[in-house]
Amino acid sequence: MQAGVNKLENDKLSIEIIKPKLKDAQGIKSLLDYYSRQQIVLPRSIVDICEKIRIFWIAVDTATNEIIGCAGIQFYWDNLAEIKSLAVKKEYWGKGIGNMLVQKCIEEARSFGVKKIFALTYIAEFFKKLGFQIISKNSLPQKIWTECINCQHFPNCNEDAVELVLKDE
């Protein structure tokens, strides 16, 4: 996908990747709740989502105005960011929507001058297809572990850490 592309249109789908508004917080929460119940993503309260609404990108089916995907990009300092809360409704899997969301996060991180992006994930193969490499979780700074206390798997994390080093364009 090219930088700046935020639409997917074909004869069956019309998807837009946009920044959410506060009114979209409940839709993001519903999507994340589905995967949180399966212990795939961290649970997020509506307050947390509203407070962090600016980190998110959402995929919207323009035919129904339904939020069908989301991802967040959290900045830690000038050279490090995390992709978090990546979720796509199951019936939309395999249509490139997760890819589009991650690409928007990468594009935003690059615009802020970030040099490395990481994610903690159960879908390392998906991220590897986008150029990420598996790394040791121990190589990540302790600051990133602040949300781990809320994880169902804490302290026995079984997620993979993946990292993408951004090259200057």
For 79-135, the pLDDT digits (tens) are: 899 999 999 999 999 999 999 999 999 999 999 999 999 999 988 999 999 999 999
The β-bridge relationship of strands 56-61 and 133-135 is unpaired
- Residue 72 pLDDT more than 60? yes
In this predicted model, which residue has the larger pLDDT, 98 or 154? 98
In this predicted model, which residue has the larger pLDDT, 137 or 52? 52
Q: What number is the average pLDDT over the span 71-78?
A: 91
**How confident is the model at residue 148, as a pLDDT?**
59
Q: Which residue has the tokens 């074909």?
A: 10
**How confident is the model at residue 4, as a pLDDT?**
45
Kindly indicate the confidence band of residue 167, based on its pLDDT and cuts at 50, 70 and 90. Answer: confident
Q: What number is the average pLDDT over the span 156-161?
A: 75
**How confident is the model at residue 153, as a pLDDT?**
57
In this predicted model, which residue has the larger pLDDT, 114 or 149? 114
**How confident is the model at residue 141, as a pLDDT?**
72
Cβ–Cβ under 8 Å, residues 70 and 36: no
Question: Facing residues of 14 across strands?
Answer: 9
Q: Map out the domains of the chain as residue ranges.
A: 7-165
CATH classification of 7-165 is 3.40.50.920, yes or no? no
